[in-house]
Structure 1
C-alpha cells in the first residue's frame, strides 16, 4: 500500500468532532425554465467520470497497533448513495439560507471508513437555482486538487447527460492483514523515524536561506508575536458562520494601478486588512500593530497544476490594520508579501521539518498535541497567527454541470482551533468570489467582514481619481 505523506497525516490528526478538515467547493447553478437539474442526472455525471480521478476511491488504512503508519489503499467500488446526497435549502432560499445549509451538511468530519469525499446537491434556491457542494478531505488533496476534480466533473459547454454511457470501472487494491502489515511496517517505521531525524538535524545545521535563524512560523514567538484579537479567543461551540461576496475581476485588477507593482493577491490581502480594521475597530479590539495571516502557497512544478495531493507551503504576511489610509495599507501589505515570498525557501523547510517532527512521534502523541491547541490552556501561549487567507486562480471562462451554467464558485474554508477565521478567494469567469468562514461564537455577523472588503475596494478605486 502506498505510504501517506506526513503532510497528509497532519490533516487527519488535526481533525476532531465539529472541526472537519476538508476542502469544500460550492458551485451555484443557473436556473432554467424546466427547473433545477434532476438529482439522478448529477449522480450519473459522478458515476461516469469519477473513475478517472486517482483520489475517488482512496481510503485510509489505519496503522497496525497505532505504531506503524496510516497508509492509502484503493476501494474496488464506490457506493454513490453513501457519498451523494440531495436536500432542499429552507425558505427563503437566499444566500444566507444556502450558507446555513452548507455549514449544516459540512459540519462534521467525513467518514474515514469510506473514500474521503462527499457531494451534496442543494435545491430550493431563489429563482430556481441550485448548488453543488463538493467536499474533499485535505489529507487527500489541497485546493489545487479540488480544481483538478472540478475540471473532471464540469464541462466548458452545455453537455447533456448520456444515461446510456457505461459507468467507469474502479480499480481497487488488495488489503493485507493487520498482522502482515505490523510485521512489515513497524520495522519500516523505525527506519523512517531515523531518516526523519537525520533530515531534521541537517535542516537545522544547514538553513534554507542566508537569513538569520529564527523559530518556524508555526511555533509561538516570545519576542515578536502578533497581537491577540477576538478571533484568538478560546471557543466551546464549534458551530460556524459564513458569508460571501463576488467582486468584478476587472475592479480588483484596476486597484493594482493605485500602487504599480502590486499583485492581485496584494490587493485581496489589502481588502482583508481594511475589512479586519473596520470590524475590530467597531468592537473596540483594534490593535496598534499588524495582525498576521498565513497564506497557503502552491509549490507544484510548472505545468503540473492538475495533480492531486498536498503540494503546498505557507507564507506569513503581516496585515497593517493599524494604518489609517487604504493606499498606505496596500503599500505595507505589498512590502510584507514581497518579504514573505523571499523567505519561501525557509517556509518550505519549516513545513518539511514539521512533517519530519510528525514522523518522529507516534500518531497518538501528535493527535494529543493537536487537541491541546484547541484548549483554553493553549491561550497562555502567544498566538502564531490571527487568520488564514487562501487565494486560488480558477478558470476565467464559465463551466457547466451538464446543461447548467455555474454562475458562482465559493470555497468553505477550513477552521480549526486555534485558528478561527478563514478568508478564501477564487477567481472564476469574470469575478473574484470571496468567502469568510469563522466561528459563530466569536463572529455571528461575518457579513460585516465581506461588506468591509467591498468598502475597502471602493476606497482604493476612488484613489485613482
Structure 2
C-alpha cells in the first residue's frame, strides 16, 4: 500500500472513519448470473487486488501489503438477493445502505457485489462495494470496464469462459502450493524493515541534497525561503486546520447511513460552465453548496460558507488501479442567492485550490503520519475530519449505453465515503445525465427529503443560466 492507503486502513479502528465506497447501478433487466460470475473471475486476473487480502506489517513499521488469497470464494463476493414486495426505489436504497454499513471481512479480499432483484417493471440493481485501499473513484471506473459491455451480445461466451477457467486454474495451483493460505511472518518482517530503511534513506538524501544545493548556490536562498513560506501557508490551510466545521446543524454524528439519489443534465451543466468561464465540476460544487445553504435556511440556522473536502486526482493515463488522489479542503460560499455570483466565488476558490503547494507534499507527509501509533493516528484524523462540513467528488463516466451480462444500464449512481463528515455528494456522468449519490448521516441530516428538494431548487436556478433563461 501507499502511505495514504495505509492511513485509510489504520484509522478504520474507528468505524466512523471507514473508507469503503459503493456504486449502485440500475439495470433494465436481471443480468445473466453465470456470465457475470465469469466476468468477475476474469476481472480478478486483470485487477490483482480483487484477489488479494491485506497483511499488516509487524508494529506498523511499513504499510500493509497485499497477499494473494488462493482460497478466494467467488460465491461469497458475488451474491444475489430479492427485495421484499412491493418494492420501491426507497426500499432499494434502504437495503443498499444497510449492506454498505456492514464492515468487510478483513480475512478476505475487500469487495462485495450484490445483484438485487425485484424492482418494479422487471428492473434490477447491482450494488458494488469496494474498499478505498483497492482503488479510488477513477480507478473504480476502470475496474468496472472489466465487467461492462458495449452491446447486449459482446464477445463469445467461449472467450470469457476460457479466460475465467485460466484464472480458476491459477488459483487452484496457488492453493496447492499454499493450501492453508499462510503468510510468512519472517518474510513480512524483513520486507517491512527493508521498506523503512529505504524510506529513511530517501528522506535523508533529499534533506542533505537540498542543504548542499543552497550552500553551493546561496543566491537561491531568497527563492527557497519564499517557497518554504508558501508551502507552510498551504499546509496550514490543507493539513493543519485548527478551526471547527462551520455548520452546527450538521455537527451530530452516528454510524448510520442514508442513501439518496439526484440527477441533472450534463448538457445544461456544460452550457452553464461555458457561459460562466468555468468547468462542470464548478457547476456541481456551486449547486451542492447552494443547496446546503438553502437547507440551513429552511432549518432556521443560516450559514454563509462551509468547508468542503474534495479529492484531486493525480492519476496518469497509464496508472494502475491503485489510489492516485490527494485529499483537499476548501471553504465554499453557500450564498448569495444569485447563482452567477455564487458560481464566480466558488470557481475562484477551486482554482486557488488546484494551485495549493501542499498537494505536492501530500504523499511525503502521509509517509511520516502513517508511522504514528494507531491510537494517535485515529485521534489526529478525527481532529481534522471535524473541520469538514461535507464532501464532494466528480467522476466522468460513459457517454454511450453500456450493458452488464446482457442487461442494459439505465443509471449509475456513485456513493462516496463520508470519512467522518456529515454528507458526501458524488456524481458520475452517464449518457448525458449526471447521477448524484448522496450518502448522509441521519444524525446530521435530519430531513433528507428537504435536502433533496433544496438540491432540485439550487440546480434549477443554476442550470437556467446555461439554457439562457
Q: Do both proteins adopt the same fold according to a TM-score greater than 0.5, normalized to the shorter chain?
A: yes
1 CA distance for matches of 2:315 and 2:88? 38
Distance in 2, Cα, partners of 1:248 & 1:122: 27
- Report the Cα offset of residue 315 of structure 1: 3.6
Quick check: 1:286–1:321 contact (8 Å CA) kept in 2? no
Residues 242-263 of structure 1: per-residue CA shift (max 9 Å, x gap)? 111121211222222542x111
Give the corresponding residue for 1:72.
Answer: 66
Cα distance, 1:348 vs structure 2: 3.3
Determine the structure 2 residue equivalent to 1:58. 52
Offset of 1:226 from its aligned partner? 5.2
Q: Which residue pairs with 1:348 in the alignment?
A: 360
Residue 326 of structure 2 is aligned to residue 295 of structure 1: no
- What is the match of residue 426 of structure 1? 428
Deviation track 1:324-355 (CA, whole Å, cap 9, x = no partner) reads 21111111111111111222x43232x22431
Distance of 1:117 and 1:226 partners within structure 2:
32
TM-score, scaled relative to structure 2: 0.84
CA distance in 2, matches of 1:253, 1:209: 38
Matches of 1:382 and 1:11, distance apart in 2: 13
Counterpart residue number, 2:326: 313
In the alignment, the residues of structure 2 paired with residue 454 and residue 318 of structure 1 have an alpha-carbon distance, to the nearest angstrom, of: 22
Pick from 193, 199, 212 the counterpart of residue 192 of structure 1. Answer: 199
Q: Structure 2: 5+ residue runs without aligned partners? A: 212-223
1:323 aligns with 2:340: no
* Cα distance in 1 between the residues matched to 2:33 and 2:106: 25
Question: In the aligned structure 2, how far is the partner of 1:141 from the partner of 1:388?
Answer: 18
CA separation of 1:372/1:88 partners in 2, compared to 1, >3 Å: closer, same or farther?
farther
Separation in structure 1 between the aligned mates of residue 258 and residue 333 of structure 2, nearest angstrom: 25
Counterpart secondary structure, 1:211: helix
Query: In 2, Cα distance between the equivalents of 1:295 and 1:391?
Result: 9
What is the match of residue 9 of structure 1? 6
- Matching of residues 106-255 of structure 1 within 5 Å: 106-159=100-153, 162=157, 165-166=161-162, 167=164, 168-169=166-167, 170=170, 177-186=184-193, 188-193=195-200, 195-196=202-203, 211=230, 213-214=232-233, 215-222=235-242, 227-233=246-252, 235=253, 237-255=254-272
* Post-superposition CA distance 1:49-70 (Å, at most 9, x none): 4322222212211223554542
Equivalent-residue separation in structure 2 for 1:425 and 1:85 (angstroms): 26
SS of the residue 2:128 aligns to = strand
2:318 alignment partner in structure 1: 304
Aligned match for 2:374, one of 366, 373, 381 = 366
Q: TM-score scaled to structure 1, two decimals? A: 0.85
1:95 positional shift? 1.8
For 1:208 and 1:43, locate their aligned partners in 2 and report how far apart those are by CA, in whole Å.
53
Q: CA RMSD in A?
A: 3.0
Task: Kindly state the Cα deviation for residue 313 of structure 1 after the two structures are TM-superposed.
Answer: 1.2
Q: Describe the SS at the equivalent of 2:135.
A: coil
CA contact (8 A) 1:246 1:433 kept: yes
**Larger-Rg structure:** 2
Q: 1:461 to 1:247 in 2, by over 3 A?
A: closer
Residue 385 (1) aligns with residue 388 (2): yes
| CA distance in structure 2 between the partners assigned to 1:382 and 1:125 by the alignment | 37
Q: CA deviation at 1:321?
A: 1.0
**SS state at 2:260 partner:** strand
Retained in 1: the 8 A contact 2:6–2:370? no
User: Cα offset for 1:213?
Assistant: 3.0
> Is the CA contact 2:313–2:324 (under 8 Å) kept in the aligned structure 1?
yes
Q: 1:311 to 1:200 in 2, by over 3 A?
A: farther
User: If each structure's helix is expressed as a fraction of its own residues, which one has the higher value?
Assistant: 2
Describe the shift of the 1:359–1:323 C-alpha distance in structure 2 as closer, same or farther (beyond 3 A).
Answer: same
Q: 1:404 to 1:200 in 2, by over 3 A?
A: farther
Instruction: Give the superposition deviation at 1:231.
Output: 2.1
Report the count of equivalent residues.
440
User: 2:395 aligned with 1:401, yes or no?
Assistant: no
